[in-house]
Structure 1
Amino acid sequence: MTSWRERTLGEVVGLQRGYDLTADDRAEGTVPVMGAAGHNGYHNEAKVSAPGIVVGRSGGSFGQVHFCETDFWPHNTAMFVTDFKGNDPYFVFYLLKLLNFDSLNSGSAQPSLNRNYLYPVKAMVPCPADQVNVVSIIRKIDQKIALNNKINAELEAMAKLIYDYWFVQFDFPDENDNPYKSSGGKMVWCDQLKREIPEGWQASSVLKVSDIVGGGTPKKQVDEYWNGDVLFFTPTDAPDQCYCHKTEDAITDLGLKKSSAKLLPPNTTILTARGSVGKAVLCGSEMAMNQSCYALVPKDSEAFVHCFFLAKNLVEHLRVKATGSVFNSIISSDIESTKLAIPKSELVQKYSKLANPMFQKIECLSRENIELAKLRDWLLPMLMNGQVTVGDRVLFSDKNEARALHEPAIGIDADL
């Protein structure tokens, strides 16, 4: 640690409040707008050259730190780095992520961040040349997580494209492998849907292909019902991607037994009915859920991807139906009464053979990302305070103990 010195944050970085930009002032463009919660849209003008860092300065995103690798517009809900003062931008990013911003709150009822509260904070900082080495392994982990997320997004988009082509546009392969509707496949008028659908299809609710399950919450005041091994999903647990593998709360087997909550099997689709209304999420493992959700358990377990996209289709129908009023909840009668075009089971089975491997890969990479994030979060504080250093494929601690980083099962590519 010979290059490490105690420095104030003001010696390491310069910060400034972002710029005002109302919705009316935004112009169509490709420049990211970076606010307290990260990327929140685009504009046609950049105020800051890449690379850049923003820190949420108020509200619910107070203290959130985000990195931007392209020129951007820093929004006034955040502060941004104006000067890295010769330091490695990625090192500064990880250093800021380790700060306890709760102790730096300059507001009262509303959390608020003032750079004058940040500048006196002291931290151990190596010389710029060593900073790159310190964060190299963390960057590799984050790059692998980002790559996995990109692969997952592309796989989901591919499965959705096929779904839309087959079940929305009705151009599924006919007996000659030609697109059904475009090739003149027979269409019949459906009074319930007020449109034509392929012959042999029917108008029905999602209950034709799935069972609906409601949620419930064990009594909060009974300690024996909580902090168990059963994942307990609520709308706030809905991830950005399709699979949910972790929840903020967990309940015990007794809590499950003493409430109306049910244990849902993997690949069940959960629909959020209140709060963040209309999100569709697949269970990555067995879990229960609260009463602000409904679950759709596919009657054919192999048809879970079709059920997932059908649930999303249902939500879009409900949004359209709610035009002119507030779409703030889903009730069971909405699910039961909304008619959709339900295909023949043979076609769903054919689709499942294509889509299921894609979603199995998504599920696998989602689990991998959880383990990668755990590894990153375990290593980060030790690397950033000099407790361990990065050698050539080996991490060394101050006690001269070595922990070799061979090609790990989680798959960090040394050349990523």
Structure 2
Amino acid sequence: MNNWNYFELGQIASIYNGSTPSTNNEDYWNGDIIWITPKDLSDQNQKYIIKGERTITQKALSNTKLLPNGTVLLSSRAPIGLLSIASTDLVTNQGFKNIVVNADILHNEFLYYYLKLKKNELNNLGSGTTFKELSKSTLEKYKIKFPDLPTQKSIAKVLSDLDAKIELNNKINRELEAMAKTLYDYWFVQFDFPNPSTSSGQAGKPYKSSGGTMVYNTELKREIPEGWEVKTISEWIKKDKNGDWGKETEEGNYQLKVTCIRGADLNGLNGNGELKPPTRFILVNNSNKLLENHDLIVEISGGSPTQSTGRLAFITEETLLRFQNPLICSNFCKALTLKEEKYLYNFVYQWNRLYDNGVLFGWEGKTSGIKNLLFESFVTKHKEVFPKYEIAEKFYDFVKPIQSQKQKNLLQNQQLSELRDWLLPMFMNGQVTVTEAEEKLNMAAEPSVEYKKG
């Protein structure tokens, strides 16, 4: 690192605050200019950002700075350290310090990775009583070390290639999930599953559209396919298992080492965000609480004003392969086992539809300010359509390889992320060269699988 430069960030980049136009002026909103908040970065969790939840108009630009494509966006409060790179001209709210680099000296992708490594340092530089904030002047004085521009670009390329592989897998997973969700809606919401009729010309055609018999159900107050039942959710469930938190370290009878899935980990388990469950130690006698293939995990306590409790994840053989230890859910969650394994994916997509439609908000209580899902009341009182076994089985057989491939992609992403996170500090500390890193990357590479959307 003897030939690395050492500068204050303000000497080699321009730093701009963001702002929020008056929300009382309708002329400032719903225009064609992208407006980014820290929540957009948290939700999207991608290196590049091209859109946010809201937009502003040209009139609003008098109160803020239009940032050029390639600007490094750094959240400076609540929380400090979220990062992204603008992939188009845009603006941000006041929760950012936006960095426009001198491209003759500093590469924006290199800076992105450098600041990502220094997140804790940046957080410690924040000040404030209500919440910590990183000021513009403090960031301008923040000193960074960096090599010559070609080396910066080479380092950024190695790390970017890893991120690109991860994002490709994420894209494949989104498309696979969309396929499964579309089929669920088609079969179990529109009731256009393959008609099992043996009548001439009807077999295999979309049931409802081809004239399949529909029967009015007085409990649901709508028509359902003939022969389908209406059941409470509890009638699908064979048993449930409470979670466990155990101990942080091995002590006494707490000898069984496990990975503990919390409510915060459920999205990551499903492939939507980071997954960093803690390692815990539980009583050996509590091994009956360990998660098994086809188990489901429901968040019982948590949520927020805009997010209900009741997030759901499920376990497959491929899920278990992503972890070195046996899995258990925390005591803020509950594990479920269904009576019939072949109803797993029908249950999952039906539960998620209820969750997405806000149904579970109506089944929450509060204890000491924490929202709790009234699980027993919900599953014993809420009723849903219960399809015939052969239709659920066909759906299971369709979705199982999709979910298997998704979990394999997530396992590969986990390995790629670990490699990237190992390389990042090694690069920034000058402990590994680009050539050495490329050799490591080639050793870790697997034969690529071409994916074609069906």
Q: Is the 8 A contact 2:423 2:437 kept in 1?
A: no
Q: Is the 8 A contact 2:245 2:260 kept in 1?
A: no
Partner of 1:408: 444
Mapping 1:157-168, distance limit 5 Å: 157-168=178-189
Of stretches 336-345 and 26-35 in structure 1, the one that deviates more from structure 2 is: 26-35
Partner of 2:98: 80
Per-residue CA distance 1:292-318 (angstroms, 9 max, x = gap): 323332333344322211221343566
* Aligned counterpart for 1:156 among listed residues 170, 177, 191: 177
| TM-score for the superposition, normalised by structure 1 | 0.85
Partner of 1:49: 68
Partner of 1:65: 83
Partner of 1:330: 373
Alpha-carbon separation, structure 2, partners of 1:389 and 1:355? 44
Partner of 2:403: 359
Partner of 2:433: 389
1:16 corresponds to 2:58: no
Cα drift, residue 380 of structure 1: 0.8
Q: Is the 8 A contact 2:101 2:107 kept in 1?
A: no
Say which SS state the counterpart of residue 64 (structure 1) adopts: strand
Cα drift, residue 33 of structure 1: 3.1
> Which amino acid letter does the alignment assign opposite residue 427 of structure 2?
L
Cα separation, partners in 2 of 1:49 and 1:246, compared to 1, 3 Å: closer
5+ unaligned residues in a row in structure 2: which ranges? 45-51, 197-202, 304-308, 321-325, 450-454
Aligned length: 402
Q: Is the 8 A contact 2:245 2:331 kept in 1?
A: no
Mapping 1:306-345, distance limit 5 Å: 306-316=346-356, 319=359, 322=362, 328-331=371-374, 332-345=376-389
Cα separation, partners in 2 of 1:56 and 1:211, compared to 1, 3 Å: farther
| CA root-mean-square deviation | 3.2
Q: Is the 8 A contact 1:36 1:78 kept in 2?
A: yes
> Which amino acid letter does the alignment assign opposite residue 221 of structure 2?
K
Cα drift, residue 91 of structure 1: 0.8
> Which amino acid letter does the alignment assign opposite residue 230 of structure 1?
V
> Which amino acid letter does the alignment assign opposite residue 7 of structure 1?
F
Alpha-carbon separation, structure 2, partners of 1:311 and 1:268? 14
Cα separation, partners in 2 of 1:29 and 1:324, compared to 1, 3 Å: farther
* Aligned counterpart for 1:230 among listed residues 226, 242, 258: 258
Say which SS state the counterpart of residue 297 (structure 2) adopts: strand
* Aligned counterpart for 2:116 among listed residues 94, 97, 112: 97
Cα drift, residue 5 of structure 1: 1.7
Say which SS state the counterpart of residue 181 (structure 1) adopts: coil
* Aligned counterpart for 2:291 among listed residues 261, 264, 284: 264
Cα drift, residue 44 of structure 1: 4.5
Per-residue CA distance 1:112-154 (angstroms, 9 max, x = gap): 1012222333232112222111211100001111111111111
1:136 corresponds to 2:141: no
Alpha-carbon separation, structure 2, partners of 1:387 and 1:97? 18
Alpha-carbon separation, structure 2, partners of 1:323 and 1:205? 14
Partner of 2:328: 288
Cα drift, residue 50 of structure 1: 1.3
* Aligned counterpart for 2:35 among listed residues 19, 33, 36: 33
Say which SS state the counterpart of residue 239 (structure 1) adopts: helix
Alpha-carbon separation, structure 1, partners of 2:247 and 2:360? 37
Partner of 1:173: 194
Alpha-carbon separation, structure 2, partners of 1:145 and 1:269? 26
Q: Is the 8 A contact 2:248 2:281 kept in 1?
A: no
Alpha-carbon separation, structure 2, partners of 1:10 and 1:411? 44
Alpha-carbon separation, structure 2, partners of 1:169 and 1:325? 33
Q: Is the 8 A contact 2:186 2:192 kept in 1?
A: yes
Cα drift, residue 345 of structure 1: 0.6
Partner of 2:300: 273
Cα drift, residue 166 of structure 1: 0.1
Alpha-carbon separation, structure 2, partners of 1:302 and 1:375? 37
Q: Is the 8 A contact 2:3 2:147 kept in 1?
A: yes
Cα separation, partners in 2 of 1:191 and 1:363, compared to 1, 3 Å: same
Cα drift, residue 386 of structure 1: 2.5
Partner of 2:5: 5
Alpha-carbon separation, structure 2, partners of 1:237 and 1:368? 18
Name the structure where helix makes up a greater proportion of residues.
2
Say which SS state the counterpart of residue 51 (structure 1) adopts: coil
> Which amino acid letter does the alignment assign opposite residue 356 of structure 1?
K
> Which amino acid letter does the alignment assign opposite residue 251 of structure 1?
R
Alpha-carbon separation, structure 1, partners of 2:440 and 2:360? 56
Partner of 1:400: none
Partner of 2:48: none
* Aligned counterpart for 1:197 among listed residues 217, 220, 224: 224
Cα separation, partners in 2 of 1:329 and 1:395, compared to 1, 3 Å: closer
> Which amino acid letter does the alignment assign opposite residue 291 of structure 1?
N
**Share of identical aligned residues, percent?**
28
Say which SS state the counterpart of residue 244 (structure 2) adopts: coil
Say which SS state the counterpart of residue 179 (structure 2) adopts: helix
Cα separation, partners in 2 of 1:235 and 1:36, compared to 1, 3 Å: same
Cα separation, partners in 2 of 1:233 and 1:30, compared to 1, 3 Å: farther
Say which SS state the counterpart of residue 63 (structure 1) adopts: strand
Cα drift, residue 267 of structure 1: 4.0
Q: Is the 8 A contact 1:55 1:65 kept in 2?
A: yes
Cα separation, partners in 2 of 1:71 and 1:296, compared to 1, 3 Å: farther
Say which SS state the counterpart of residue 213 (structure 1) adopts: strand
Per-residue CA distance 1:23-61 (angstroms, 9 max, x = gap): 6657346654322341651314582221222111112x2
